[in-house]
């Protein structure tokens, strides 16, 4: 009997110590998360603190579970003082569980606080601004090459009577126009894919994949702009009405770093929007998990 009381006293003190440590760890985790978004100044430190929280709660659960099992066994065996023992175990459980509840509440609160920081207006506006700047840069290049393609097509159509029967003159005219307009590549081709003229750097341009319906759109008078994630160029397609069924396809290099930044920003924005729609679900799931722990 004396041995059991000593063991019970030891477990009570151990549970009290674990409870105090759990509260301290929970408060430390909360302040670590709330100091600098997202999740403090060191993500590794926060993860370590969360792991400590879970370990402390699990140890408390083991001690409480063990005491409850022993209480049930003693009650079934009808040992003397089992009622008093039961009251002590109940008090012990309350003292041990209270810090666990506090830690769980803190965990839910700082998780919600962290999510609110992640999906706050400042982060959202910063991402949207970065995206808008990158898109504006690319759109400006599209507008510029669209204007250059129209101007070059107008010059070609005007000179068409003098160029159609002279491939050499047509080649020289296209090269000169491309140089004047700072176009890195230009090609004139017919609907069958036959090249009528091109600049020296446009060898790969004739092999460039055009979007479905691009020729049809060009025939309606539209200037079709083409961008590709595979390279760092922006291109424009326009029909040459003075050459029958011929088309002018021009291209210009743009800053590869800006295009890469825009693609990365688009990916981040999509992931951010996806997580934003799932935020409430994450909060509810986390609250349930913390409650179960």
Residue 71 has pLDDT above 70, yes or no: no
Q: What is the pLDDT of residue 174?
A: 92
Domain assignment present for 264: no
* CB 227, CB 143: distance < 8 Å: no
Q: What is the pLDDT of residue 2?
A: 45
Are residues 162 and 102 located together in one domain of the fold?
A: no
Residue 287 has pLDDT above 70, yes or no: no
- Structural domain of residue 61, as residue ranges? 2-118
Are residues 171 and 55 located together in one domain of the fold?
A: no
What is the per-residue pLDDT across 117-163, written as a single tens digit (0 to 9) for each?
Answer: 556 666 667 677 777 777 777 788 888 999 999 999 999 999 998 99
Other Cβ atoms less than 10 A from the Cβ of 173: the count is 19
Least confident of 97-101, 127-131, 172-176: 97-101
Provide the whole-model pTM: 0.51
246: left (phi over 0), alpha (psi -120 to 50) or beta: beta
Read off the pLDDT band of 209 (50, 70, 90).
low
- Give every CB contact of residue 149 below 8 A, 6+ residues apart in sequence: 223, 236, 237, 238, 248, 250
Domain boundary among 118, 149, 165: 118
Other Cβ atoms less than 10 A from the Cβ of 144: the count is 16
Number of structural domains the chain divides into: 2
Percent of the chain predicted with pLDDT > 90: 15
Q: Give the CA count within 13 Å in the CB-facing half-sphere of 185.
A: 19
Domain assignment present for 212: yes
Can you give the CATH number for the domain in which 188 is found? 3.40.1840.10
* Mean pLDDT value across residues 235-262: 84
Token duo for residue 196: 């009528």
Are residues 94 and 140 located together in one domain of the fold?
A: no
What is the per-residue pLDDT across 198-208, written as a single tens digit (0 to 9) for each?
Answer: 887 655 555 55
Are residues 99 and 180 located together in one domain of the fold?
A: no
Question: What average pLDDT does the chain have?
Answer: 73
Domain assignment present for 273: no
174/153 Cα distance (integer angstroms): 10
């Amino acid at each position: 009997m004396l041995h059991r009381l000593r063991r019970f006293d030891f477990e009570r003190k151990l549970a009290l110590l674990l409870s105090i440590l759990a509260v301290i760890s929970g408060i430390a985790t909360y302040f670590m998360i709330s100091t600098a978004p997202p999740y403090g100044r060191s993500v590794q430190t926060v993860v370590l603190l969360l792991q400590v929280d879970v370990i402390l709660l699990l140890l408390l659960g083991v001690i409480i579970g063990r005491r409850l099992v022993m209480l049930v066994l003693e009650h079934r065996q009808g040992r003397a003082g089992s009622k008093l023992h039961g009251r002590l175990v109940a008090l012990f459980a309350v003292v041990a569980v209270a810090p666990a509840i506090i830690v769980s509440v803190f965990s839910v609160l700082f998780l919600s606080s962290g999510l609110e920081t992640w999906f706050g207006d400042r982060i959202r506006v910063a991402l949207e601004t970065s995206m808008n700047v990158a898109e504006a840069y690319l759109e400006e290049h599209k507008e510029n090459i669209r204007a250059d393609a129209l101007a070059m097509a107008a010059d070609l159509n005007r000179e068409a009577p003098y160029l159609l029967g002279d491939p050499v003159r047509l080649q020289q005219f296209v090269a000169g126009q491309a140089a004047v307009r700072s176009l890195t590549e230009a090609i004139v081709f017919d609907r069958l894919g036959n090249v009528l003229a091109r600049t020296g750097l446009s060898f790969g341009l004739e092999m460039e994949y055009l979007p479905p319906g691009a020729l049809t759109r060009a025939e309606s008078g539209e200037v079709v702009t083409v961008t590709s994630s595979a390279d760092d160029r922006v291109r424009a397609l326009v029909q040459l009405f003075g050459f029958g069924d011929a088309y002018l396809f021009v291209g210009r290099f743009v800053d590869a770093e800006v295009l890469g930044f825009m693609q990365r920003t688009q990916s981040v924005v999509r992931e951010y929007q996806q997580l934003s729609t799932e935020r409430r679900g994450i909060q509810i799931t986390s609250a349930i998990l913390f409650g179960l722990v």
